[in-house]
Structure 1
Amino acid sequence: MLRQSNQQRLLQKLSPQQIQLMKLLQIPTASLEDRIQEELEENPALENEVGQDDDEYDLGGNDDGDDNDYDEGGDDVELSNDTADKVDLDDFLKHEDDGDRNYDYGDDYYGADNERQVTPARVETNFHDHVLDQLGMLELDERRHKIAEQIIGSLDEDGYLRREVTSLADDLAFGQNIETTEDEINELIKQIQQFDPAGICVWNLQECLLLQLKRMPDSKPLRDAIIVLDKYFNEFIKKHYDKIQRQLNLNDEDFKAVINIIIKLNPKPGSSFAVLNKAESYIIPDFFVYNNNGILELSLNSKNAPELRVSEGYKEMMRAYERGQKKDKRQKEAVMFIKQKLDSAKWFIDAIKQRQHTLLHTMQAIMDFQKEFFLTGDEAALRPMILKDIAQLTLLDVSTVSRVANSKFVQTEYGTHKLKYFFSEALQLDSGEEVSTREVKMILNEIIGAENKRKPFSDEHLTDMLVEKGYHIARRTVAKYREQLNIPVARLRKEL
């Protein structure tokens, strides 16, 4: 049975502008330039200001009202027929002219030395291109050359072949109409395995390391190393050294020479050519913190954000429409399009301004909370701090603080750190004092670093040692901290 009823519900919905602002807030400075360039290409009403002084950051837009009050225009502006017949151009143009001013935050906001910097770009050779260049050294006809290209194209960034020979044959048959056999493909694979870097075009780590060993000058330790990887590979990766020594009848000195050869091999020969994301390749700080005689000074890096303004040409189009006598349907449609683009440009400028304000406000709270660390650089001075602590200080939502902390870096006198570096949970000592879990990890790292590598400490032993120092934590917590420090278990830390 169908029924109709009226209901009142309280819903919270994010506008498209708010969603875009959250995305802007999350990206680091290294990626902000690309995002702004993308907006400049999509919106002709937004312009890159040229010729401004270096210490001026022209954000244009409307400076009236609260930072969170954005125009709900953008690309989603809808004009009814009534508003299409009479667009309030007087108020709109007046609003535009009044808002055409610079937002100069001064040296306290961006720092005194505000010379424009360009994001560095490196010139690099792709791994696959490097291998393809060597393909010309083989005397191959056109058909076999295409087969070899297919094989090289199937290599991953580490240099490993991730497709079986039968799959390669199928790819060639269906994709390039080339009939081949598994023997022919295997023959070409063996030839490609002779290319640089050594160890490429194999299916597993064992083959990769053996290929590298076979290219080295012959010696007794080298021959033993080949036997170790060929016949005792599983025992080697599990560090069952005693068993290998007994089987090969090697003393500690001879076996140590074998190990020294193996550990110098490259398990990922193609990795030296790997192309990384630009934002990950270069750390461009989003903030700078300076210690000026015990007074901390914070500045925001806006070097990669060009000066933005609303297009004068588009505003002039609006004025021309107002001065015109004849206003037909086509002109009205054009002015609605122009207004949408102007509104979108104003919103983007205001969003950039709000992004910078939020970043600075949040970083100021982090700097105040961890003041002792920024003054001394002592990791033990880091106080327990979670996202909620900063959210309460800044009156921002926890999710907003999380977006600010994500992929952002701050440059200090004691190094450049991710913002997430300053966040850690609390641990209570026997005395009742709360310390950061980062302090426990630091002590754990020091204990493991000073251990006898012939007899490394187990997690149980590490737990007992921390308890003796007043840190009451469980063994599984010690294991978790050890893994977060990228430290293997005791058996894998064992050395000869």
Structure 2
Amino acid sequence: MQKLNLSQVLSQKLSPQQIQFIKLLQVPTVELDARVEEELEINPALEEGKDEEKDQNEDEFPESYEEDSGKEESDVNIDDYLNEDYGGYKMQGDGNYSPDDDDREIPISSGVSLHEQLITQLGFLKLDEHQKIIGRQLIGSIENDGYIRRDLEAIINDLAFSQNMEIDIDEVEEILRKIQAFDPAGIAARNLQECLLIQLERKEHSDDPTVMNAIRIVGECFEEFTKKHYPKIQKKLNIEDDELKDAIQMITRLNPKPGGAADGMVKTQYIFPDFILNNVEGKLDILLNSKNAPELRVSRSYSEMFNAYEKSDKKDKKLKETVTFVKQKLDAAKWFIDAIKQRQHTLLKTMHAILNFQIDFFQDGDETKLRPMILKDIAERIDMDISTVSRVANSKSIQTEFGIFPLKYFFSEGIATDSGEDVSNKEVKSVLQTMVDEEDKRKPLSDDKLVKMLNGKGYNIARRTVAKYREQLQIPVARLRKEL
């Protein structure tokens, strides 16, 4: 038997304006440019340029436009948008342009991809079509760091299925050796040992004793080398202390990731920080980057057209459809402009709160002066939701006189001290890094020793936390930090 029940449910809906703001707040700058261009193309009521008669134009909107503009509700639940993940950085301010901004572009090296470099070098070899196919398959199997980790038998099987080619392992290894002679040195190695050997064997003075010792160490004592068991290496190869030291230094200067050098040449890119911090005689001033969002205005001709249609005596169906179309475009233009301005306001408001919270750091860039700070701290200061602060902090950056920092850099948990105060874990990491930098590399400090030293400085920290921080700082364990 069916029953009719009445239930009351509280749900939160987003208006089109709110949806637009959320998306624009977290969108990356490159995408923001594209988004603005897209809106300009699809909405003739939106124009580029400063609205010199803003107040007058707003008065010209008929009353029906003002009343209806905020009435429409979206059927989309807020969670559908709050959970979307956007990267983002760069934002242009409204009235926050700095004349120095034109000189603040930070170019990243440009060029062709690693794959393209290797294919070009493959073309210089005198290979038949059969060999070229094998070469292209091998190059396609090279990972970003420059290694081929796929088994050669698997590559042969791929060629059998895709090219209907019967190939034996010797053919593949012959082409692989040719590719391993390409630049950068060490490319297409199947493991670290092979990568280092390729680089050593390409040394100009291959008959040099140091080169020969290095080749023997990597070729015959690789496991002992990785574990820094230097006495075992000396005994096995019968070499003196100085000879071992010179060879080890040569090996450690080799590139363990040969694909990395070329990987930075994949594309041309320019990074513009979202915020620029100026320090004028101790007074800190924040500007929004003013390059990426053009000034926008509602088309005066469209608003006048709407007025004319509204005042027309003719109320036929075709005219009514035209009025509806024009009004929708005017609504969309106004909402988009408002969302852009709200984005700028929210970015500045959030950045000012971060600046005030971390004012000691921003004065001189001393990492030890960073205070513990979480998203909630800033959200409470600016009276906004934590998710809004997260969107701003997630992928925005600020340029200071001592470097460019992602906003996430300023957020950290606290570590208790003997005095009862909390300090930022970044301060503890900085102290930890200094301890390791200043240690005697012949007798590097163990994690237990580091804990005791940190405790002695007043930081109440456990061994597992030290190990975690050490890994985050990419500091190897004591045994691997040992030097001769």
Superposition TM-score tier, normalisation by shorter sequence: 0.7 to 0.9
Measure, in 1, the Cα distance between the counterparts of 2:434 and 2:328: 60
Please point out which of 112, 134, 137 is paired with 1:150: 137
Amino acid at match of 2:32: L
Scaled by the length of structure 2, what TM-score is found? 0.82
2:112–2:267 CA contact under 8 A, matched in 1? no
Amino acid at match of 2:242: E
Indicate the SS of the match to 1:406.
Answer: helix
Structure 2: 5+ residue stretches without partners:
62-66, 76-91
1:410–1:418 CA contact under 8 A, matched in 2? yes
Scaled by the length of structure 1, what TM-score is found? 0.80
- The reply on whether 1:358 has 2:342 as its aligned counterpart is no
Give the equivalent residue in structure 1 for 2:82: none
Give the equivalent residue in structure 2 for 1:423: 411
Mark the CA change 1:444 to 1:114 in structure 2 (over 3 Å): closer, same or farther. closer
Mark the CA change 1:376 to 1:270 in structure 2 (over 3 Å): closer, same or farther. closer
More moved, 190-199 vs 167-176: 167-176
Give the equivalent residue in structure 2 for 1:23: 23
1:160–1:204 CA contact under 8 A, matched in 2? yes
- The reply on whether 1:207 has 2:169 as its aligned counterpart is no
Please point out which of 233, 246, 251 is paired with 1:262: 251
Please point out which of 216, 221, 245 is paired with 1:232: 221
Amino acid at match of 1:271: G
Aligned-pair distance for 1:211?
1.2
Indicate the SS of the match to 1:270.
Answer: helix
Mark the CA change 1:397 to 1:185 in structure 2 (over 3 Å): closer, same or farther. same
Give the equivalent residue in structure 2 for 1:7: 7
Give the equivalent residue in structure 2 for 1:94: none
Indicate the SS of the match to 1:358.
Answer: helix
Measure, in 1, the Cα distance between the counterparts of 2:40 and 2:362: 38
Measure, in 2, the Cα distance between the counterparts of 1:282 and 1:371: 29
Please point out which of 433, 449, 462 is paired with 2:450: 462
Aligned-pair distance for 1:465?
1.1
Indicate the SS of the match to 1:171.
Answer: helix
More moved, 329-338 vs 416-425: 329-338
Identity, in percent, stands at: 55
Amino acid at match of 2:398: V
Amino acid at match of 2:182: F
Residues 199-245 of structure 1, C-alpha deviations (whole Å, 9 max, x = no match): 22232222211111111121222222222222322222222223222
Please point out which of 286, 294, 300 is paired with 1:298: 286
Moved over 6 A (4+): 58-64, 73-77, 116-119, 276-279, 323-328
Amino acid at match of 1:165: L
Question: 1:82-121 maps to which residues of 2 (within 5 A)?
Answer: 106=95, 109-111=96-98
Give the equivalent residue in structure 1 for 2:78: none
Indicate the SS of the match to 2:279.
Answer: strand
Measure, in 2, the Cα distance between the counterparts of 1:70 and 1:480: 56
Please point out which of 353, 366, 370 is paired with 2:358: 370
Mark the CA change 1:196 to 1:293 in structure 2 (over 3 Å): closer, same or farther. closer
Aligned-pair distance for 1:313?
6.5
Residues 181-204 of structure 1, C-alpha deviations (whole Å, 9 max, x = no match): 433333222222222222222322
Give the equivalent residue in structure 2 for 1:411: 399
Mark the CA change 1:115 to 1:234 in structure 2 (over 3 Å): closer, same or farther. closer
Mark the CA change 1:404 to 1:422 in structure 2 (over 3 Å): closer, same or farther. same
Aligned-pair distance for 1:373?
2.2
Structure 1: 5+ residue stretches without partners:
78-102
Aligned-pair distance for 1:164?
3.0
Question: 1:476-495 maps to which residues of 2 (within 5 A)?
Answer: 476-495=464-483
Indicate the SS of the match to 1:457.
Answer: coil
Aligned-pair distance for 1:7?
0.8
Residues 219-274 of structure 1, C-alpha deviations (whole Å, 9 max, x = no match): 22222222222232222222222322222222321111111111121122122221
Amino acid at match of 1:272: A
Mark the CA change 1:278 to 1:214 in structure 2 (over 3 Å): closer, same or farther. closer
Please point out which of 120, 126, 129 is paired with 1:139: 126
Q: What is the count of residue pairs matched by the alignment?
A: 459
Measure, in 2, the Cα distance between the counterparts of 1:183 and 1:230: 22
Measure, in 2, the Cα distance between the counterparts of 1:73 and 1:129: 54
Give the equivalent residue in structure 2 for 1:287: 275
Aligned-pair distance for 1:138?
1.6
Mark the CA change 1:364 to 1:10 in structure 2 (over 3 Å): closer, same or farther. same
Give the equivalent residue in structure 2 for 1:169: 156
Measure, in 2, the Cα distance between the counterparts of 1:391 and 1:360: 13
Mark the CA change 1:331 to 1:75 in structure 2 (over 3 Å): closer, same or farther. farther
Please point out which of 119, 124, 128 is paired with 2:115: 128
Residues 31-51 of structure 1, C-alpha deviations (whole Å, 9 max, x = no match): 5334433444555554433xx
Aligned-pair distance for 1:361?
0.4
Measure, in 2, the Cα distance between the counterparts of 1:414 and 1:434: 25
Q: Cα RMSD between the aligned structures?
A: 3.7
2:297–2:337 CA contact under 8 A, matched in 1? yes
Aligned-pair distance for 1:487?
1.5
Amino acid at match of 2:476: P
